[in-house]
């Protein structure tokens, strides 16, 4: 009987002491503990704590952002660089086009000026030698020097001396080369000497017709 009573007593004591030891170890795991219920921190079942949220936010900002910069940033920089290179090439082509166009215009202007100068020089040379050409055409080149001193053809004033038509006919038929050369000059309406033009006019004096050269103004 004593043994049976001891066994029963031990069972009773064991049943009363075990919940006391188990309660501190299991506190916080029940519905009202720190991990569960309205009073506990919300870090389970879709309620992460604030620390993890901040870490996750920083991780998204620094992690994903860096990835975007790493892949998207260089691409944009490459596009900007290509556009800048295209712009510079276009400006270089435009400058080269403008330079060539200006060179062509300048060369064309030079050619025109040179051509005009050449024509003017040839014209002046021709008119300068026309006095001599008349002497050559009339076969009077040998008396060319004498004609330069003839006041009917050369003069310092506005007009040369009168040269009558009767004398003109005589000189034209004369055996003298000088007379024939003088008649050859007066047979022309004008002549040019050293760039100056001399026009022939018919002047009546004392009832007689005369030829006279006037220097053109």
Give pLDDT, residue 122: 62
Cα separation of 183 and 137, whole Å?
A: 12
Section 177-206 average pLDDT? 88
With a pLDDT cut of 70, the percent of the chain lying above it is: 60
Nearest to 147 by CA among 188, 173, 182: 182
| Interior/surface letters 84-100, b for 16+ CB within 10 angstroms, e for the rest | eeeeeeeeeeeeeeeee
At residue 198, the 3 state secondary structure works out as: strand
pLDDT per position as a tens digit, 86-99: 888 888 888 888 88
> Under a CB-based contact definition with an 8 Å cutoff, are residues 112 and 150 in contact?
no
- Answer whether residue 103 shows pLDDT above 80: yes
- The structural domains of the chain, with segments of one domain joined by +, span 61-217
Nearest to 171 by CA among 132, 142, 211, 203: 211
Determine how many CB atoms are found less than 10 A away from the CB of residue 171.
Answer: 20
pTM: 0.40
Give pLDDT, residue 126: 60
3-state percent helix, strand, coil for the chain, nearest multiple of 5: 65, 10, 25
Cα separation of 170 and 186, whole Å?
A: 12
Nearest to 181 by CA among 215, 130, 120, 138: 138
Section 129-146 average pLDDT? 74
Q: β-strand 163-164 against 208-215: which pairing, if any?
A: antiparallel
- 163 by Cβ neighbours in 10 Å (0-12 / 13-18 / 19+) ranks as buried
């Amino acid at each position: 009987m004593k043994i049976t009573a001891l066994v029963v007593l031990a069972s009773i004591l064991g049943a009363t002491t075990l919940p006391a030891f188990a309660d501190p170890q299991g506190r916080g795991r029940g519905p009202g503990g720190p991990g569960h219920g309205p009073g506990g921190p919300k870090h389970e079942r879709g309620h992460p704590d604030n620390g993890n949220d901040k870490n996750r936010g920083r991780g998204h900002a620094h992690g994903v952002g860096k990835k975007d910069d790493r892949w998207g940033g260089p691409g944009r920089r490459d596009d900007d660089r290509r556009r800048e290179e295209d712009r510079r090439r276009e400006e270089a082509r435009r400058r080269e086009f403008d330079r060539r166009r200006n060179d062509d215009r300048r060369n064309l202007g030079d050619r025109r000026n040179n051509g005009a100068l050449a024509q003017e020089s040839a014209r002046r040379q021709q008119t300068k030698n026309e006095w001599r050409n008349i002497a050559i055409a009339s076969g009077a080149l040998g008396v060319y020097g004498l004609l330069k001193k003839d006041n009917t053809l050369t003069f310092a004033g506005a007009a040369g001396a009168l040269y009558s038509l009767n004398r003109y006919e005589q000189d034209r038929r004369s055996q003298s080369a000088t007379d024939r050369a003088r008649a050859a000059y007066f047979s022309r309406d004008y002549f040019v000497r050293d760039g100056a033009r001399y026009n022939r006019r018919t002047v009546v004096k004392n009832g007689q017709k005369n030829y006279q050269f006037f220097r053109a103004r």
